[in-house]
Amino acid sequence: MPHADSIQAEAPPRHGGNVHQLARQLNCHPQQILDFSASLVPFGPPPSLRRALRQALNHHVVPYPDPSYQHLREAIAQIHGLDPDWILPGNGATELITWVARDCQFFHNLLPTPGFADYQRALNTWGAPSQFLPLQLHWCGGAQNWGDTLAQPMAAQNLHHGPSALWITNPHNPTGQLWHRDSLAALLHHYHLLVVDEAFLPLVPGGEVHSIIPLVPQFKNLVVIRSLTKLFSMAGLRLGYAVASPDRLERWRRCRDPWPINGLAVHGGMAVLKDHRWQQRVWQWLEQEGPWLTHQLSTHCKILQVCPGAANYRLLYSHQSLLPLQQWLAQQRILVRDCRSFVGLDDHWLRIAIRERTQNRRLLTALAAGFTQLECYSS
Ligand SMILES: Cc1ncc(COP(=O)(O)O)c(C=O)c1O
C-alpha cells in the first residue's frame, strides 16, 4: 500500500471525479474507487439511457449527426416551454461556458468565490478580465457557513464602473447555497450580462421555482447554462445546453466545430429528457439522504462542521487541516473533493457528494476510523 504522503502529492485537482489519478496511485482499477468527489446521481444512469444507447449503436454511429440538432433542441425547448431557437446544446455545460466567456471578453467579470474554477479557465481562454467577489461567511450556532436559508437572496454588488458580467451558480458550487429567483431577476438591471449556471438545479427538490429560464425571453443580457451530466449520471457522454437569445446562440453556433455533440449523446439525451419519472426518483432520494447524511456527520464527526446545502453535496469545514483525513480516505479507496482549487478555501475544507445509504455509511465508518487512528485529530 502506498504511503499516505505519496497519495495526491500532485497538484490539487481542479475538478471532482478524477478516479483515474487515484487508481494509478493505488495501483487499482478506477471502478474500485468510491467517488464522493464528483456529485452525480449515484444510482444512474437511467435504464432509458441504456436502451437508447443500444439502439443508437445501430443507427447513429455511422452517419454524421444533424448539425442543427433540431430534434434535440425541440425536446429541450418543450421542457421549458420555449421555441427551439432559444436553445443551443453543447458538449457538456463546459463547452457552453467557454462560448459565453467569449461574449464577456470586453466586460469586467465578477466571480463569486469560493466558486467553480471553470469560469476562470473559460475567461482566461479569451483574455477576459475578471475579479473575485467573496461570498459573505456567517457564523450560525458556533459554526461558520454561508447562511442556512434555502433559498436566500443574492445581493447586487457592482464593484466596477464599466460594463460588467456576473457569473452565478444556482445552487452554488461548492457551498450548496440556493439563490432565490427574485434576487437573481433584480440583478438583470445591474449587469450587462448575467450568466446563471443551473447545472445542479434539476436535482434540487422543488428547485425549479428558482430557475431563471422563464425570464430569458424578456432579457437579452441573460444566459442560462444547464447540464445533463449530474441529474442523469452521464458525465462520460458530455451533454449540456444553453438558453439565451437566438441571435447570441447563432453567433456561437457559427464559430464552433460543426458536430460538437456526437450521435450517441444526442439520442441518449433525447431519451432521458422524456424520462419524467427519473427526476421524481432523484428528488425522493435527495430529500431523504441529504438530511440523513448531514445529521450523521454533525452527530458523529464533531471535528467537522457541515454547511447547509440544497444540492447533492455538502461542504465540510474543520478548524484543523483535513488533508491527513483526505489522504487516509484515499488509502481506503474513497475519493473526496479536495477544495484547495476553490479560491478562498484551503485544506480545512472538503466537499462530499451525497450517495446511496450503504455508500454513505461506508464513508461515515471510514471517517470515524480516520479520526480515531490519525494522531493529529486525537486532542
Ligand atoms: C457548477 C458546474 N457547472 C458545470 C459543470 C460542468 O458540467 P458538464 O459535465 O455538463 O460539462 C460542473 C461540473 O462539475 C459544475 O460543477
Residue 7 Cβ contacting ligand 1 at under 6 Å:
no
Q: Is residue 290 located within the same domain as residue 361?
A: yes
Q: Is the dihedral of CA 48, 54, 59, 65 positive or negative?
A: positive
Q: What is the per-residue pLDDT for 7? A: 52
Q: What is the pLDDT of residue 1?
A: 46
Q: What's the gap in Å between 199 CA and the centre of ligand 1?
A: 6
Closest atom of ligand 1 to CA, residue 228:
10
The count of other CB atoms within 10 Å of the CB of residue 30 is 15
List of residues 6+ apart from 304 with CB closer than 8 A: 297, 298, 316, 317, 318, 367
Taking the CA of residue 200 as reference, the ligand 1 atom at the shortest distance is 1
CA 97 to ligand 1: nearest atom: 4
pLDDT computed for residue 119 by the predictor? 96
Domain boundaries, position 253: 47-275
Query: 197: Cβ below 6 Å to ligand 1?
Result: yes
| Distance between CA atoms of residues 203 and 7, nearest Å | 32
265 and 349 together in one domain: no
Q: Say which CATH number the domain at 114 has.
A: 3.40.640.10
Do 110 and 250 reside in the same domain of the chain? yes
Same domain, 267 and 284: no
Tens digit of each residue's pLDDT (9 = 90 or more) over 185-226: 999 999 999 999 999 999 999 999 999 999 999 999 999 999
Distance 376 CA to ligand 1 centre (A): 34
pLDDT value, residue 137: 74
Q: How far is the CA of 60 from the centre of ligand 1 (A)?
A: 26
C-alpha span between 117 and 326 (Å, rounded): 20
Q: Are residues 263 and 228 in the same domain?
A: yes
Q: Is 227 in the pocket of ligand 1 (CB under 6 A)?
A: yes
pLDDT 10s digits, 262-278: 999 999 999 999 998 99
Low-confidence stretches of the chain (pLDDT < 50) are 1-2
Which atom from ligand 1 is nearest to the alpha carbon of 38? 14
User: What is the count of structural domains for the chain?
Assistant: 2
Strands 349-353 and 337-338: antiparallel
Bridge partners of 226?
Answer: 241
Do 80 and 25 have their domain in common?
no
